[in-house]
A and B are shown apart, each in its own frame.
Chain A
């Protein structure tokens, strides 16, 4: 298996899916040249009818995708930065997110909204906000957030094949990562987590960039004889509750690590579920590690204090280990 970057894995997934399903279109600003390179070269391969380079009009672009989806196409709408999804929000939340249910099951909305999520780029608030909890909060939108190139390819292909709206969140902060990605076709089912590290003492649950921070924390905890189990959820909604609950049944301790805010963040959702459904298994208080509650600041010095670091995870694990 050749090592590939996260971005290359995305490009490969799109190319494969466009290659064997001509209903799959790629739509967005500068998808032709590929601002993040994840769409680069596809224009040459599939032409302007399949790779549609649009004006800067997020709302219309997203809505056009929705209309195309309900009439038989399978659009992938690339909105570049997650924060630009705010401009498309009506079409995602009120339209794509409601149509099937609201119209009594008549509509099928097989659409993927793709964007880079979160910080770590030194790009300031308008390009760095974490977006996933917003979409997790919409009852009929799926949200995936791969933490590595292998998952990026498999999950994006699954998202394109999914018959419901999926928000696919990549992370530029992982862009330079290389990992083995098969040239062959494979999908990773939406909703299935990945046990990254088995451990007996505490369950650390995460997704996206912070999976790496959690793994880093687990290595340093191991030096102190604390054996952490690390779960990469990969899909934020529907998320793999069963995997988490099974793990907590074994470890009795739970730390949720997520790059979004504590109030109604992803970590809050996981923590609440564990508190509700695994109360009897818990031997220490559930802990959350989230962003500090500020817009992501520009200064790299401040930004790095805003997003969960491995040391924050270590602290949280120690807090829950200290009791019980």
Chain B
């Protein structure tokens, strides 16, 4: 994508995207350290390398739009405006966490900002976005719903059923496929016989676009288009963002006992495709901000993450009464 095409985005949105990328990166780097120290229970899947997708899509959404997230969901929540303190506390399983410690890394939700939840079941969140879109259509609003999922999830029945259903109902859904080329330890190339997940959109009669998922501004432009289609009542769009992740889950090198599964070329492409470096270069090319502005944003991100860790570590564990709370809405 040419730099000229990115000029239309505007300084405020670019700054928002940059800030979001940095918050995600610094948050995830800290989570990696905490996990290594054995401070976080359960499984943790990091979003490092994929920041462009959440940040680019997030900046195209309004506060009242909905998103549905995945097991690799920290970035999505941050992009929708999630509170780092409550996120970090949830990762520690503390009472002050977003889900009072009942969900953990794979289940962060903040309904007050339209985050309908991360999901530990691959593909489990996709149809839920259809319901959120149906809900706004029924109420007569122009809200849209975005659902994130991986290349691996695109092989689940829920993906195929959801694309078709959203298509025939013309629901305002953004299907955002984060194609990081692996589902756990299996290469996508082995799990599907199409080069692009986006090709599958044609089979359901909806637009499918491929975008460089390591380029925050390119993702943003594609998402903004899809959001406009949705708001105009023109139905769903499948956006496939080609991106790269680090490890599948923290600690994987130990449990794989050194068995390799990624090819060298892909690792090189991953290293070369740092979204924050690309965005920094774009910002310079667009002549938008000086380096000190960006440095200040980074410092803010680092400080916010430090504060989040302190908040989480100083928070209490859930008390015994919490176990049986939050069961029935009907009392």
Contacts and interface: CB of A to CB of B under 8 A. Distances in A.
Nearest to B326: A294
B207 interface: no
A30 B320 contact: no
B69 to A, nearest CB: 13
B156 A298 contact: no
Interface in B167-224: 183-186, 190-192
A306 interface: yes
B323 A292 contact: yes
Interface string A29-64: 110110101001000000000000111111110000
Interface string A111-139: 00000000001111111000000000000
Interface in B77-115: 90, 93-94, 99, 101-107
Interface string A276-306: 0000000000000000111101111110011
A297 B101 contact: yes
B55 interface: no
Interface in A170-212: none
Contacts of B184: 29-30, 35, 56
Given A298-B93, A299-B318, A33 B259 contact: yes
Given A33-B256, A37-B255, A55-B186, A297 B320 contact: no
B38 to A, nearest CB: 12
Interface residues of A, number: 38
Contact of A302 (B90, B101, B192): B101
Contacts of B155: 55-57
Nearest to B119: A126
Contact of B157 (A57, A86, A123): A57
Interface stretch (B23-31, B121-129, B265-273, B294-302): B121-129
B152 interface: yes
Contacts of A301: 93, 101, 317-318
B327 interface: yes
Given A56-B152, A126-B107, A292-B324, A302 B102 contact: yes
A268 interface: no
Given A35-B184, A122-B42, A298-B93, A305 B323 contact: yes
Contacts of A306: 323
B322 A53 contact: no
A124 B318 contact: no
Contacts of A29: 183-184, 186
Given A124-B42, A294-B323, A56 B121 contact: no
**Chain B interface, >50% SS class:** loop
Q: Which of A55, A59, A84, A87 has the most C-beta atoms of chain B within 10 angstroms of its own C-beta? A: A55
Contacts of B153: 56
Interface residues of B, number: 44
A83 interface: yes
B43 interface: yes
Given A33-B256, A294-B323, A298-B93, A124 B122 contact: no
Contacts of A37: 255, 257
B317 A30 contact: no
B41 interface: yes
B330 to A, nearest CB: 15
B122 A56 contact: yes
B246 interface: no
A126 B186 contact: no
Given A127-B43, A298-B41, A55 B183 contact: yes
A302 B100 CA distance: 10
A297 B317 contact: no
Contacts of B191: 54-56
A30 B182 CA distance: 11
Interface string B109-146: 00000000001111110000000000000000000000
Nearest to B41: A122
Contact of A87 (B121, B185, B327): B121
Contacts of B190: 53
B255 A298 contact: no
A181 B114 CA distance: 52
A122 B42 CA distance: 5
A141 to B, nearest CB: 22
Contacts of A83: 120-121
Given A125-B120, A126-B106, A126-B120, A302 B318 contact: yes
Interface string B51-77: 000000000000000000000000000
16 contacts: A30-B185, A33-B259, A37-B257, A55-B152, A56-B155, A57-B157, A87-B156, A122-B93, A123-B42, A124-B102, A126-B107, A292-B324, A294-B323, A297-B101, A298-B99, A305-B320
Q: Rank and list the top 3 A-B pairs by shortest CB-CB distance, nearest first.
A: A126-B120, A298-B104, A122-B41
Interface of A: 29-30, 32-33, 35, 37, 40, 53-60, 83-84, 86-87, 121-127, 292-295, 297-302, 305-306
